[in-house]
Structure 1
Amino acid sequence: MSRTARRRTARLHLSLTGWTLTLFALYICARTWPIQTAGIATALALGGIVTVRRSSRARRIRGRGRFPIARPARLVHRILRQRAARPTDLAAYLALDPTGFEHAIADLARRDPQVRSATPQGGSDDRGLDVLVRLRNGHRILIQCKRYGPRNRVTSEDVQKTNGTYRDIHGCDLAVIVTTSGFTRSAVQTNTMLARPLLLVDGHGLTTWTASSRPPWA
């Protein structure tokens, strides 16, 4: 047996011996002076309760002292997240990933008082529906989001695909294509040929929408 183990064993034996002698002394006192022993036991019990309560209160006070540090951290995180969800210029939109861009457009749509809900729907099989907007009058609007760089423009094929899905597949009354870039000349020409042209929002239109909160369908 190691020296540390022997010390622990000796301390355990000493503790057991002490408790045994204490209990034996209490037994003798209770047999000899029952009233006095009961009074002493009651006082000890009350003292123990007071000590436990004070210890518990001290732990709660120490715990409260940590909250003022944690709360500002959570508040700063929430503010930064809200700022990230509400870009104010084109560079901020371009800094988002495609999913973040869809959520930012949904948030932008919700600023319109006529919008009941705007829900991001994008995915690998979204069939052209990135954000579904429901107006209070019952109309549904499909938004296709294109977070493109300045050299990558929305093409005529994109316009044709959106036009072919927003009514028959998604049951929407209107379609909007929003991009951080622009549209090719062919895309604009194709859109003018449609019986019900789509709403095309380029980077400049997006910043105007952001600044005024007036949606393109208003």
Structure 2
Amino acid sequence: MKKRTRRQLQRWGVAVGAGLAVWLAAHWAAVWPVLLAVLFAVVAGGGGWTLWRAHRTAVGKDRQWRAQEEARARELSMTQVDALSWQEFETYVAALCRRDGCTKVVVSGRSGDLGADVIGYLADGRKVVVQCKKYAPHRSVSSHDMQKFVGTARPEHGADVALFVTTGQSFTRDALGLAVRQNIVALHRDLLGAWVKGAHLESLIPLNGSGNGGGSGGSKRGVFHAMRRVR
């Protein structure tokens, strides 16, 4: 039964194929343009998809290269920042504020300033109070440091925008959590590097410690988009 069924199927297949061949021969003049169009569409679609994939890959590599180059440029500039004394660092941060349109910028430059190393006003009139911590690149800002600034930035100085800037790589989890709860803008080394390279202060404020430094992906994306807004 199985052999007979197979033979019947084979015969049926041959008959259908022969019938299709006869039909194509009879209607070839009308059929071949359609077949040619289908073949062209398949080839064009395959080529277009290949080009699209190649474009996506090239764009992705270009973005990755740009991000890497910007990171290297930031670190080159940060090497120069690392060479500053803590007094020079405060003066430099004040200069960055002025560059971005802040007015009435003053530098305390003395002990007992109650966390207000730099004071100024944004273009919209909001008062900015900046705490500057000139730390080694590998260090993190502690919760204790953040607590002291929280206790003075607004109660003592009336800050509308309280900014904690450090050359250290990151803020501890507790320090960053406190900053977020108390609306303190935390700029770690990566974000400071973007500021140094031209990112506008007001474009960095919303990032507020994104990625918490340490070269994390979130931080690098935030810094990259901040740098893109500069151009």
- The aligned residue for residue 209 of structure 2 is none
Counterpart check, 1:205 vs 2:197: no
Task: Look up the match of 1:11.
Answer: none
Match of 1:120 in 2: 107
The reply to whether residue 176 of structure 1 matches residue 174 of structure 2 is no
Residue 105 of structure 1 corresponds to 93
1:154-186 Cα distance to aligned partner (Å, 9 max, x none): 111111111111111112211111111121122
CA RMSD of aligned residues (A): 1.9
Query: Structure 2: where are the runs of 5+ without partners?
Result: 1-74, 207-231
Aligned length: 129
Contact 1:178 1:206 in 2 (8 A): yes
SS in 1 for 2:147: helix
Q: Which runs of no fewer than 5 residues in structure 1 stay unpaired?
A: 1-86
**Counterparts of 1:21-170 in structure 2 under 5 Å?**
89-113=77-101, 115-170=102-157
Q: Please tell me whether the aligned partners of residues 142 and 176 of structure 1 are also in contact (alpha carbons under 8 angstroms).
A: yes
Greater CA radius of gyration, 1 or 2? 1
* Secondary structure class of the residue paired with 1:141: strand
2:160 corresponds to 1:190: no
Q: Secondary structure at the match of 2:104?
A: strand
Q: TM (normalized to structure 2)?
A: 0.52
Amino acid in structure 1 at the alignment position of 2:179: N
Instruction: State the SS of the aligned residue for 1:106.
Output: helix
In structure 1, C-alpha distance between the alignment counterparts of 2:109 and 2:198, rounded to whole Å: 25
The alpha carbon displacement at 1:203 in A equals: 0.8
TM-score, L = length of structure 1: 0.55
CA distance in 2, matches of 1:106, 1:152: 22
The answer to whether the 8 Å contact 1:178/1:202 transfers is: yes
CA distance in 1 between counterparts of 2:205 and 2:128 reads 9
